[in-house]
Amino acid sequence: MARPNRNLRNFCIIAHIDHGKSTVADRIMELTGQVSKRDMEEQLLDSMDIERERGITIKLAPVRMYYTALDGQEYELNLIDTPGHVDFTYEVSRSLAACEGALLIVDATQGVEAQTLANAYLALDNDLEIVPVINKIDLQSARIDETKAEIEDVIGLDASEAPCVSAKEGTNIRDILEAVVKLIPPPDGDTDAPLRALIFDSYYDNYKGVILFVKLKDGSVMVGDRIKACLSDKLYDVTEVGAFAPYLQPKERLLAGEVGYIAASIKSIEDVAVGDTVISADKPDTPPLPGYKKIRPVVFCGIYPLDGSKFLDLKEAILKLKLNDASLTFEPDNSVALGFGFRCGFLGLLHMEIIQERIEREFNLDIITTAPSVSYLVHKTDGSELYVDNPSHLPPVSEIEWMEEPIVRAEVYSPPDYLGSVMDLCQDKRGTFKDMTYLDTRRVKLEYLLPLNEIVYDFFDELKSRTKGYASFDYELAGYQRSRLVRLDILLNGEICDALSIIVHEERAYARGRTLCENLKDAIPRQLFEIPVQAAIGGKIIARETVKAVRKDVLAKCYGGDITRKKKLLEKQKEGKKRMRQIGTVEVPSEVFMQILKTNKDK
């Protein structure tokens, strides 16, 4: 048996969102000379446009570096950047499985936050060595000692030796690397054993096919090897292996303990699932590594092309995104109002927004998205059960015995000043109080059980506005709960618009119906005829507003000098109309479907 390279370190960086994870990664790369300062783009690892603009990391991105430590030895470091947002916990857990240690970045001005904790526990579950790092010490409001104490009290990690750094100014970055070398163990495994490599990510390259991101547990792999994906039983010939530098850098072979990529002219990403194990085709009986549990989407919405004829373009866009995002689910859907589209499932609201934005931006498609929904469990009178995430697929009331809705365990962290408002909000949102803990004099942790459908509605916006942005919030699914739910339909000019139907709690239905009608009245431009906007439950109208007919759009004069201007004005209006969708006889702006729920509070 041969041990992997003793001077190899695989680690990742975990942190609460905005605690400086990507900046720390950039500084480490800079210090190891991985990227020359001149070529350095801010936050190199966040390579998607959206990631950079929003300042978040979505996809995990690995990079290999060499570092000569103070002990005089050269070490090979593989760093895997991870997303910080709760929606992407799945991505985090995948990268953790490829590492032996994790840097836990904590903002010295913010202290331990919801996601710090969640990620730290994830890392502990994966048996990783956790190295706390205190960041942002350059800021006036940095509380270094208190932050250390918090790490010890709340997470139970020794933080006395934790490197204290300012990634922004590049202070003490070397301390981090020394800690990595000293504290994080090298990978174990056996380079002589048959190949076993964990696929922790993948993406589709137009020339090379699917690129597998792998961590080799045992054995080695090189060009020409015949490999097998355990789950699908498919065989491939390796065409290229290499490291992340951070761009793909081919090398001769990958050895046990190493992190790198494999290309093998793989055409379909479905055949090489993330979490699967790659083994040698010569040793088909090699037992696979433990994978990840399959992730279930929790938030759903319909996505339709604005221009109905672009359905195939939309399909292609979603398929391509799926190649890089295993957590996205979709199935074809058909709406009376919006035509052909897809019902997509997401890990959370942010994930949903990101996907929508990527479709519009990267594929240049205008889309209509419906209000987010969750997956309800319907118990039918005939004893059967089914999950429904699309309100228009809900069976008739007469066939429903009872329904259950998904519940989350939510943790809200807030300064004590806003405790009252936060509790009011949770109460409003049908929450059940579970626990309250004072973390220190400035922060309280509240635990509630909340229906997920209230969270996808406007919980987060409300929380931020009621606490002036001070509260943060995290949640995890906590099963299903019986609930009195009804479908609320919206009728435009007397016709049900299926794309606007929502499932709501019975007690909320009247208020929500009223709000919806009011919002729609404001959002739908006046047309040549009067448009009744009605909300209905099972055929009974519960709210009504009217979009008045337009009375005047032209009384100005139009003489010789006005003709061109008038034409341009009409062209501009026409442009605006392109963002509209014809629902029966009514023209509806495309944003309405998504935003109508967000724009106003229930009155």
Using the contact rule CB under 8 A, the part of the chain among 222-230, 418-426, 505-513, 546-554 near another protein is 546-554
Segment contacting another protein by CB under 8 A, of 81-89, 161-169, 470-478, 568-576: 568-576
Residue 106 · residue 116 · CB < 8 Å? yes
CB of 585 to another protein, least distance (A): 11
Length of the chain: 603
Q: Nearest approach, Cβ of 350 to another protein (angstroms)? A: 36
CB 107 within 8 A of CB 21: no
Pairing of the two strands 101-107 and 61-68: unpaired
CB of 569 to another protein, least distance (A): 8
- Residue span binding another protein (CB under 8 A) among the ranges 345-353, 379-387, 457-465, 547-555: 547-555
Nearer to another protein, 437 or 585 (CB): 585
Q: Does 554 bind another protein (CB under 8 A)?
A: yes
Q: In the complex with another protein, which residue's Cβ is closer, 384 or 585?
A: 585
- Give the helix/strand (H/E) hosting 345: strand 339-346
Dist. CA 185–CA 182, nearest whole Å: 8
- Pick the piece of the chain touching another protein (CB under 8 A) from 26-34, 159-167, 275-283, 550-558: 550-558
- How far apart CA 150 and CA 147 sit, in angstroms, is 5
Chain centroid to CA 131: how far?
25
Query: Is 560 a binder of another protein (CB under 8 A)?
Result: yes
Cis peptide before 246 (omega within 30 of 0): yes
Nearer to another protein, 395 or 525 (CB): 525
Among 49, 192, 571, 591, binds another protein (CB under 8 A): 571
Q: Any contact of residue 574 with another protein (CB under 8 A)?
A: yes
Of 56-64, 126-134, 358-366, 570-578, which part binds another protein (CB under 8 A)? Answer: 570-578
Pick the closer one to another protein by CB: 122 or 580.
Answer: 580
What DSSP designation does 314 have?
A: H
Report, in Å, the least distance between residue 574 CB and another protein: 5
| Inter-helix orientation angle 311-324/349-362, to 10° | 120
The distance of closest approach from Cβ of residue 78 to another protein in the complex, given in angstroms and rounded to an integer, is 53
Residue placing its CB nearer to another protein in the complex, 557 or 603: 557
Per the CB < 8 A criterion, the answer to whether 45 and 134 are in contact is: no
Spatial separation of the C-alpha atoms in residues 459 and 463, rounded to whole Å: 6
User: What string marks each residue from 44 to 83 as x (binds another protein by CB under 8 A) or -?
Assistant: ----------------------------------------
Angle ∠(506,511,517) on CA atoms, nearest 5:
120
Amino acid at 181: V
For residue 364, the minimal CB distance to another protein (Å) is 17
Contact between 309 and another protein (CB under 8 A)? no
Which has the closest alpha carbon to 445: 476, 468, 422? Answer: 422
- The reply to whether 567 sits near another protein by the rule CB under 8 A is yes
CB 289 within 8 A of CB 208: no
Q: Is 535 helix (H, G, I), strand (E, B) or coil?
A: strand
Q: At its nearest, how many Å lie between another protein and the CB of residue 495?
A: 18
Report if residue 552 touches another protein, rule: CB under 8 A. Answer: yes
d(CA 434, CA 513): 30
Cα–Cα distances in Å, from 36 out to 26, 27, 251, 433?
Answer: 11, 11, 21, 52
Residue 568 interacts with another protein (CB under 8 A): yes or no: no
Residue 559 touching another protein (CB under 8 A): yes
Residues 6+ apart with CB under 8 A from 570: none
Q: Which stretch binds another protein (CB under 8 A): 90-98, 199-207, 368-376, 571-579?
A: 571-579
Nearer to another protein among residue 397 and residue 570 (C-beta): 570
Which residues between 490 and 529 bind another protein (CB under 8 A)? Answer: 527-528
Q: Which stretch binds another protein (CB under 8 A): 56-64, 312-320, 472-480, 572-580?
A: 572-580
Give the span between the Cα atoms of 239 and 255, in whole angstroms.
Answer: 16
Burial of residue 595, with CB atoms counted within 10 A of its CB: 0-12 exposed, 13-18 middle, 19 or more buried: middle
Size of the site for another protein (CB under 8 A): 24
Under 8 Å between Cβ of 24 and 30? no
Is 389 within 8 Å of 485 (Cβ atoms)? Answer: no
- Quick one: which of 268, 550, 598, 601 contacts another protein (CB under 8 A)? 550
Instruction: Using CA atoms of 473, 479, 485, 491 in order, give the dihedral in degrees to the nearest 10.
Output: 60
User: What is the smallest separation between the CB atom of 573 and another protein, expressed in angstroms?
Assistant: 6
551 binds another protein (CB under 8 A): yes
- Find the part of the chain contacting another protein (CB under 8 A) among 10-18, 375-383, 402-410, 554-562: 554-562
Judged by CB under 8 A, the residue of 174, 505, 566, 579 near another protein is 566
Q: Which is nearer to another protein, 186 or 305 (CB)?
A: 305
- Say how far apart CA 360 and CA 485 lie, in whole Å: 33
Segment near another protein (CB under 8 A), from 29-37, 320-328, 435-443, 545-553? 545-553
> What is the tally of helices (H) and strands (E) in the chain?
14, 32
Residues that bind another protein (CB under 8 A): 527-528, 548, 550-561, 563-564, 566-567, 570-571, 573-574, 577
